[in-house]
Copies of this chain bind each other. A is one copy, B any other.
Amino acid sequence: APKVECKNPGITEFVGTAIGDTIGLVIANVDPILHSYMKLDPKYRSIGILGARTGAGPHIMAADEAVKATNTEIVAIELARDTKGGAGHGCLIIFGAEEVSDARRAVEVALKELDRTFGDVYANDAGHLELQYTARASLAIQKAFNAPVGKAFGLIVGAPAAIGVLMADTAIKTANVDIVGYASPAGGTSYSNEVILMVTGDSGAVRQSVIAARELGKKLLEAMAGPAPSVTKSYI
Q: For the complex, what is the distance from the CA of A182 to the CA of B226, rounded to whole Å? A: 39
Secondary structure class of chain A's binding surface, majority of residues: mixed
Contacts of A219 in B (CB 8 A): 9-11
Give the interface centre of A163, A165, A222 by most chain B CB atoms within 10 Å: A165
CB of A30 closer than 8 Å to a CB of B: yes
CA distance A92 to B47 in the complex (A): 36
A interface residues, tally (CB under 8 Å)? 78
Q: 1/0 per residue A37-54: CB within 8 Å of B?
A: 110000000010111110
> How many of these chains are in the complex?
3
Indicate whether A90 reaches chain B with its CB closer than 8 angstroms.
Answer: yes
User: Given A31-B172, A160-B53, A193-B53, are A82 and B87 neighbors across the interface (CB < 8 Å)?
Assistant: yes
| A92 lies within 8 A of B21 (CB) | no
Interface string of A86-125 (1 = CB under 8 A from B): 1100111010000000000000000000000000000001
Residue contact B125 to A1, C-beta cutoff 8 Å? yes
* Residues of A in contact with B (beta carbons under 8 Å apart): 1-2, 4, 6-11, 13-14, 17, 21, 23-25, 27, 30-31, 33-34, 37-38, 47, 49-53, 78-82, 84-87, 90-92, 94, 125-127, 160-163, 165-166, 168-169, 172-173, 179, 181-182, 184-187, 189-195, 197, 216, 219-220, 222-226
